[in-house]
Amino acid sequence: MSPKCFYKHRKGSSEKEISDEALIVVIRQIQQEYGNSVGYRKMQDRLHDDYGLEVGRQKVLRLMKTANMLSTVRRKHFTEEYYVRRREMKDNVPPDLIGRVFFALEPFKRFVCDITYLTGCDETWYLSVIEDLFSGEIVGWKIGEHCTATLCIETVMMMKEIIGKTEGGILHSDGGSTYISYDYRELLLSLGIRQSMGKKLTCYDNARIESFNGILKTEALYAFFGKTKVKDRRIPVRKLAERALWFIPVYNNLRKKDSLGHMTPVAFREANPKGTYPVLL
């Protein structure tokens, strides 16, 4: 009788009724059936569900180590503390302080930010931008080869260099993982910036910056390279990046907007340095 048949016949046996040597035989049988892919936690379940054996998890781990039968599946890349920290970040996301109200009465107080893809024929890069809701001026931008919190941090630091004082500002983003990292959140806190965050995968919560991304791709990329070539990924990513970096100063300084009284974002800000508060007559 095979080990599996024998122990199925004895279903309900307790841990005390089976020796370590016999347990190893059963564990080896299970590993052979599953192609050596069963970890010690799942092995405990299999012993209980398939053989009726109540074996402690640590004992299963010890026996599998002794018999060199630990799972061959990939190990976790990070410590358990890292995963706990990640869960805490996701459970404590910042509130939405913008609430889809995409305007500001004075410059450099309410901002939105986002990351958009620049996908070429060779690889994908990422453009991170920050827009001032007062004038629509892009006040921070960085391109990176990886979509990381570091890219967002560098964009905020560029904004700090451009506008100077940041205390009391609100910076709004979507619910992406790059924006909930501790390093990013601690930077905003150190700069006196209140973090605001919309719901994950809800584009309307960040519609203003999504609009800019659409303008950039239409006027900077599609108009220059051809929409089909860009969509079909026939342009090298470096050329897409160069064009995007060329467009942002043009957008800020040369592209006039009807909503700003036919002025450019920079010209509108310079004409209204203290804002556009309503005047009570």
Q: How many DSSP H helices and E strands does the chain contain?
A: 12, 5
H helices within the chain, ranges in order?
3-9, 20-33, 40-51, 57-66, 80-91, 149-163, 182-190, 207-215, 223-225, 227-231, 237-253, 265-271
Lowest model confidence (mean pLDDT) among 35-39, 84-88, 129-133: 84-88
Residues 129 and 56 in one domain: no
Looking at residues 65-92, what average pLDDT do you find? 69
Residues 50 and 187 in one domain: no
- Asked, for residue 208, whether it belongs to a domain, the answer is yes
- Asked, for residue 196, whether it belongs to a domain, the answer is yes
Residues 181 and 229 in one domain: yes
Residues 198 and 126 in one domain: yes
Q: What is the three-class DSSP state of 104?
A: coil
Looking at residues 197-214, what average pLDDT do you find? 88
**Residue 16 pLDDT:** 46
Q: What is the three-class DSSP state of 262?
A: coil
Looking at residues 120-140, what average pLDDT do you find? 97
- Asked, for residue 22, whether it belongs to a domain, the answer is yes
- Asked, for residue 77, whether it belongs to a domain, the answer is no
Residues 178 and 261 in one domain: yes
pTM for the model: 0.71
Residues 236 and 184 in one domain: yes
The number of folded domains in the chain is: 2
pLDDT surpasses 60 at 15 = no
Looking at residues 26-51, what average pLDDT do you find? 88
What digits encode the pLDDT tens for the residues 226-252? 999 999 999 999 999 999 999 999 999
Q: Of 256, 270, 251, which Cα lies nearest the Cα of 212?
A: 251
Q: Among 16, 31, 66, give the residue marking a domain's end.
A: 66
Residues 251 and 129 in one domain: yes
- Asked, for residue 183, whether it belongs to a domain, the answer is yes
Q: Among 50, 66, 82, give the residue marking a domain's end.
A: 66
Looking at residues 18-44, what average pLDDT do you find? 88
Residues 61 and 162 in one domain: no
Residues 121 and 251 in one domain: yes
Q: What is the three-class DSSP state of 173?
A: strand
Lowest model confidence (mean pLDDT) among 51-55, 115-119, 132-136, 243-247: 51-55
What digits encode the pLDDT tens for the residues 185-204? 999 999 999 999 988 767 78
Residues 38 and 162 in one domain: no
Residues 252 and 141 in one domain: yes
| CATH of residue 218 | 3.30.420.10
Q: How far apart are CA 98 and CA 112, in angstroms?
A: 9
Residues 160 and 49 in one domain: no
**Residue 9 pLDDT:** 42
pLDDT surpasses 50 at 60 = yes
Q: Which domain holds residue 133?
A: 90-271
> pLDDT band at 280, cuts 50/70/90?
low
DSSP per residue, 23-49:
HHHHHHHHHHHTTT---HHHHHHHHHH
Looking at residues 7-32, what average pLDDT do you find? 72
**Residue 71 pLDDT:** 77
